[in-house]
Structure 1
Amino acid sequence: MSSSRRRFLLNTMALGCSAAANPLITPVTYAATPSNNRLVVIILRGGMDGLDVVRPVGDQNFATYRTDMATGAHDLNGMFALHPALGDLMPMWRMGELGFAHAVSTPYRDKRSHFDGQDLLEAGYASIAQKQAATGTTGWLNRMLTLLPNVHAETAFAVGQDDLILLSGDAPHSSWSPGRSLPLSVQGQNFLERMYENDPLFHASAQTAITLSAETLGGEVAEGEDMMAQMADNLKAARNADRAQALARFTAEQMHQDTRIAAFSIGGWDTHRNQPNSMRNALQQLSTALRTLKTDLGPIWGKTAVLCMTEFGRTVRQNGTQGTDHGTGGALLYAGGAVRGKQVLGRWPGLADHQLYQQRDLMPTADVRGLAASAMQGLFGHSTSDLERVVFPNLDMTDAAKFIL
């Protein structure tokens, strides 16, 4: 297939997109590796309140700070209970396919900025100063890929413009942005099918684009309608679409092929006010993504680990608007058939006033980068030296929990 035809497809699909920073269309990115194991990293943007998601009901101080969260959750082990909105994940917990790590964070401290916190989470450095001193902008997943032999980009299709920092760097990868995707008429669908019928590289991807367009936008473009008016309708429909399911479904499809690593984000975790409603909505999206991954991956689920990470936790005390503010220590969620679940990892620091970080936040007792490094070591066999030196500079894996089977 000529390069001009490839450019035509990519440029045409881009018409239905807006900036990748929009929460509806944050890109999902992929890379292929020689290993048969799979890793999915889900960035939970906004600072997920780990104390709400994995509730330390066994700590006598929890009920003092969070009177509305002390009951009604799903018991995990007597000490911790799971938010009611994640009840659909309890079968995974009982099967050992779901686990958590509490009181974790990146090395980022004190300023509690979303921009810096997310930047450091995805770049994987020990400090903002270290990241700024590095040559170029690279993410820890990309640096990990540079350590693997025979890595190549999984060429599928791209509807979007930006990659996550997580996968930015020299190692090849592909990207696709769902959500406000290409509105395809019947003629357009037939055109794509004919164009790529004999092209093994793009045929499956074109079919997926057609399917996702219908599923995400809830219909097709009626022939003869004004394109601008129809695009406006598509934008409205996309707001009501189940983006998390589309992301997970497409991820699973790619992992049935050559893709071994995927990353995408789910927003809605910045719960300054009305946290009960906001948290419930965000958790339902996360639950949908994880359950979709398990269902659509089928037997591949047994070779898959999913890490759900956020830039920081939130304050122990609630504010006056039924919300919480930016904090420090938080929680990581992990899932998959390749993990040793049914446990809450980490050393619990306690919630007494003198045990809090700056007397306001959950005290971090572990570097969340160590958990990511441990997962990559278990899945892909990286040496401790490479993980501490290349992937996560200045990381000490001495106490990193091992949770990959």
Structure 2
Amino acid sequence: MTIHRRQVLRSGLALGCSLAATPFMTPVTFAATPGEARLVVIVLRGGMDGLDAVRPLGDPGLKALRPDAARDGPALDGMFALHPTLAPLLPLWQAGEFAVAHAVSTPYRDRRSHFDGQDVLENGGNNAEGTLTPGGDGWLNRAIAHLPGARTETAFAVGHTTLMLLRGTQAVSTWAPDAGLDLSPQTDRLLERIYAQDPLFAQAHAEAEALAALQGGDPMSSNKARRAEALARFTAQRLQEETRIAAFSLGGWDTHARQDRTLPRALAELVTAITTLRETLGPDWRKTVVMAVTEFGRTARINGSGGTDHGTGGAALFAGGALAGGRVLTDWPGLRESALFQDRDLMPTRDLRAMAAWVLRDHLALPRSALEGAVFPGLEMGAPAGLIA
């Protein structure tokens, strides 16, 4: 009996796994679109503390809320400084290739659930309750529908389900370098034989074995940086070919305790991902925008465990050679007690979806009518963000 690779693909080798705050298996999804502009969206799962990642040291309210917190880091301007772990990104800031949107959030409010918050972040709907727009698809998939001539890169054989961000009617490819398939030697040899006559699938299988070797060990250990490097390098290689849009997620941002120890590990992984993308993309970096977003920020006050709890307003980080960076974009609300959201969180003053929409408008040339209608239903984009050079 002749065995075809499509039969193997249908047999269930593509695994599915989703953990909200600390996903050990990270999907990378791709889409091929016309043109040279490239976009990478990184979902920071768990709720990044924007007040610690990009510190408003010029706000006197910070010391009152966090009297024991570290108050140093590379200065960005007279108000904000980077967390010391983000110091490798300072040269990008100085080159106009790094920017921050602060005091931003999705429309999601009050309940502060990772699962609901991430669904709203990836779905892009205009609601505060965590319910999804009809169809339950992702805003980036809906954006692809408005790109003339969009096409799909050939699917990779080993992987699991697409991020909601890119889930929908527009077909995209999925690849999971850390899927942990745990194939037997016999199955692995069978795949080698099946893919032997197809250079694309043979290469994908070889890359799966090489990348899987990088994923060994405890995912919460220093191997996370190696995982981020593998994800970013693989993504950059695809972006150098047909792929123009990619998305993946990084976990470890749920810093309820000992944030001084846990947050630097997550930030280091993000730094590794961004710098690896820049190094691997080479000349294509100047056509690239990287957008790192999270489901919500964290409480303005440190809790009794030296951490922070689920909040509202936070920060989004942008990198890439296509940016008009070197700026913190914010309508800063201040950190005085009366300015906090529900007396606990950084007050969100800008819609994170508007920041994403302006990137899609100015970088990928999507029409504003489509962005405010189909891509982000009910959104009012407001004034141009000016993130793209």
Q: Which of 275-284 and 176-185 deviates more?
A: 176-185
Cα–Cα, structure 1 residues 20 and 327, in superposed 2: closer, same or farther, change >3 Å? Answer: closer
SS in 1 for 2:299: coil
Distance 2:294 2:90 in 1: 21
1:222 is matched with which residue? none
Distance 2:291 2:95 in 1: 17
Q: Which of 273-282 and 171-180 deviates more?
A: 171-180
2:365 is matched with which residue? 381
2:92 is matched with which residue? 92
Superimposed CA distance per residue, residues 118-176 of structure 1 (whole angstroms, 9 cap, x where no aligned partner): 110100011156954x4321100000011112222212414333211111100010111
2:150 is matched with which residue? 151
SS in 2 for 1:309: strand
Q: Which of 70-79 and 359-368 deviates more?
A: 70-79
- The alignment status of 1:337 with 2:321, answered yes or no, reads yes
Distance 1:210 1:261 in 2: 24
Cα–Cα, structure 1 residues 8 and 130, in superposed 2: closer, same or farther, change >3 Å? Answer: closer
Distance 1:334 1:60 in 2: 26
Distance 2:282 2:193 in 1: 30
Map 1:136-285; keep pairs closer than 5 Å: 136-182=135-181, 195-217=194-216, 236=217, 240=221, 241=223, 242-285=226-269
For the 8 Å contact 1:31–1:174, the answer to whether it is kept is yes
For the 8 Å contact 1:37–1:380, the answer to whether it is kept is yes
Distance 1:5 1:144 in 2: 31
1:68 is matched with which residue? 68
Cα–Cα, structure 1 residues 381 and 176, in superposed 2: closer, same or farther, change >3 Å? Answer: same
For structure 2, the 5+ residue unaligned runs are none
SS in 2 for 1:306: strand
Distance 1:321 1:165 in 2: 33
Cα–Cα, structure 1 residues 188 and 337, in superposed 2: closer, same or farther, change >3 Å? Answer: farther
Map 1:307-386; keep pairs closer than 5 Å: 307-386=291-370
For this pair of structures, how many residues does the alignment match?
A: 383
Cα–Cα, structure 1 residues 101 and 143, in superposed 2: closer, same or farther, change >3 Å? Answer: same
Distance 1:298 1:288 in 2: 16
Shift of 1:3: 8.0
1:122 is matched with which residue? 122
1:35 is matched with which residue? 35
Shift of 1:378: 1.3
Which amino acid is the alignment partner of residue 176 of structure 2?
S
Q: Which of 186-195 and 117-126 deviates more?
A: 186-195
Which amino acid is the alignment partner of residue 82 of structure 2?
L
Distance 2:38 2:202 in 1: 24
For the 8 Å contact 2:93–2:99, the answer to whether it is kept is yes
For the 8 Å contact 2:160–2:179, the answer to whether it is kept is no
Distance 1:180 1:174 in 2: 15
Which amino acid is the alignment partner of residue 207 of structure 1?
A
Amino-acid identity (%): 51
For the 8 Å contact 1:374–1:403, the answer to whether it is kept is yes
Shift of 1:367: 0.2
Query: Which structure has more helix as a fraction of its residues?
Result: 1
Shift of 1:215: 3.2
Cα–Cα, structure 1 residues 89 and 158, in superposed 2: closer, same or farther, change >3 Å? Answer: farther
Shift of 1:7: 3.5
Distance 1:23 1:275 in 2: 19
Which amino acid is the alignment partner of residue 36 of structure 2?
N
Distance 2:85 2:118 in 1: 25
Cα–Cα, structure 1 residues 305 and 30, in superposed 2: closer, same or farther, change >3 Å? Answer: same
Which amino acid is the alignment partner of residue 104 of structure 1?
V
- The alignment status of 1:289 with 2:273, answered yes or no, reads yes
TM-score (norm 2): 0.91
Which amino acid is the alignment partner of residue 253 of structure 2?
W
Distance 1:156 1:115 in 2: 28
Cα–Cα, structure 1 residues 238 and 369, in superposed 2: closer, same or farther, change >3 Å? Answer: closer
For structure 1, the 5+ residue unaligned runs are 218-235
Which amino acid is the alignment partner of residue 320 of structure 2?
G
Cα–Cα, structure 1 residues 198 and 299, in superposed 2: closer, same or farther, change >3 Å? Answer: farther
Cα–Cα, structure 1 residues 150 and 201, in superposed 2: closer, same or farther, change >3 Å? Answer: farther
SS in 2 for 1:74: coil
Which amino acid is the alignment partner of residue 341 of structure 2?
Y
Which amino acid is the alignment partner of residue 245 of structure 1?
E
Distance 2:219 2:67 in 1: 37
Map 1:52-63; keep pairs closer than 5 Å: 52-63=52-63
Superimposed CA distance per residue, residues 236-284 of structure 1 (whole angstroms, 9 cap, x where no aligned partner): 4666532211211111111111111111111111111111111011101
Distance 2:136 2:73 in 1: 41
Shift of 1:89: 1.3
Shift of 1:67: 2.5
Superimposed CA distance per residue, residues 94-121 of structure 1 (whole angstroms, 9 cap, x where no aligned partner): 1111110100001111111111111101
Distance 1:246 1:24 in 2: 14
Distance 1:372 1:312 in 2: 15
Cα–Cα, structure 1 residues 158 and 98, in superposed 2: closer, same or farther, change >3 Å? Answer: farther
Cα–Cα, structure 1 residues 238 and 192, in superposed 2: closer, same or farther, change >3 Å? Answer: farther
Q: Flag as ranges the 4+ runs of structure 1 deviating above 3 A.
A: 9-14, 128-132, 180-198, 214-217, 236-241
For the 8 Å contact 1:116–1:128, the answer to whether it is kept is no
1:48 is matched with which residue? 48
Distance 1:150 1:202 in 2: 25
Cα–Cα, structure 1 residues 150 and 7, in superposed 2: closer, same or farther, change >3 Å? Answer: farther
TM-score (norm 1): 0.88
Superimposed CA distance per residue, residues 37-88 of structure 1 (whole angstroms, 9 cap, x where no aligned partner): 1100001111111000000000111112123335221111121000011111
SS in 1 for 2:269: helix
Distance 2:6 2:136 in 1: 28
